[in-house]
Amino acid sequence: MPEKRTQAAASKDKKQGKAASTQASEYVHEEIEHVKKGKHGARSAKQAIAIGLSKARRAGIKAPVKKSASKATKKKAATDEKAADHTHKTSSKRSKASSAALKNEGGHAATKKALSSQSKKASAKRSAASRSTAAKKAAHTKGAAGRSAAAKKAAHSRKK
């Protein structure tokens, strides 16, 4: 079950008209925090992200599935979206079993190195044009104050 602050942050994103992937990122962030704090583990950063996306879809966020995703992934996403429509009690046995299985996994998935390598692999799959467009859009939507703050942060980082 997602935390109240995560649901609130996602609904705030929705009210602001942000993309479904941005709304879903709140759930992914929560999941990574759980792994970092040792609430449960994950085999990889990819698995932690998948769990977060699943939670988001079950919460009613229309997070898109990539066209290149496997049949199993597409099927799981469809199941999660159906679960958002039908509210029913979760099987306690099944819930305990999945929690126990995740607790046996390590916390390496949420380390800086693992998350960094995951993001590098994900961006490497995208074309240079796609990455450039995303960067331009981010700079445009950030606003003058945001760009100024980012420039100051970058300058501070370079000093180090």
Residues 71 and 139 in one domain: no
User: Which domain, by its residues, includes 1?
Assistant: 1-85+114-125
CA dihedral 105, 109, 111, 114 (to 10 degrees): 150
Residues 21 and 80 in one domain: yes
Would you state the structure tokens that stand for residue 92, as one six-digit string?
């306690």
Tell whether the model's pLDDT for residue 88 goes beyond 80. Answer: no
Residues 71 and 37 in one domain: yes
Would you state the structure tokens that stand for residue 26, as one six-digit string?
């709140």
Judge contact between 53 and 27, C-beta under 8 A. yes
pLDDT per residue as tens digits for the range 109-141:
999 999 999 999 999 999 999 999 998 988 888
Residues 120 and 158 in one domain: no
Residues 57 and 6 in one domain: yes
Tell whether the model's pLDDT for residue 1 goes beyond 80. Answer: no
Tell whether the model's pLDDT for residue 73 goes beyond 90. Answer: yes
Handedness of CA 106, 109, 110, 114 (dihedral sign): positive
The rounded distance, in Å, linking the Cα atoms of 64 and 69 is: 11
Residues 11 and 44 in one domain: yes
Among 67, 68, 64, 49, which Cα is nearest to 19's? 64
Q: Which alpha helices (DSSP H) does 86-127 contain, by range?
A: 92-103, 112-124
For residue 85, what pLDDT is reported?
Answer: 82
For residue 87, what pLDDT is reported?
Answer: 75
Is residue 61 in some structural domain?
A: yes
The rounded distance, in Å, linking the Cα atoms of 96 and 42 is: 16
pLDDT per residue as tens digits for the range 45-71:
999 999 999 999 999 999 999 898 999
For residue 159, what pLDDT is reported?
Answer: 83
| Burial 43-52, CB ≥16 within 10 A → b, else e | eebebbbbbb
Number of domains in the chain: 2
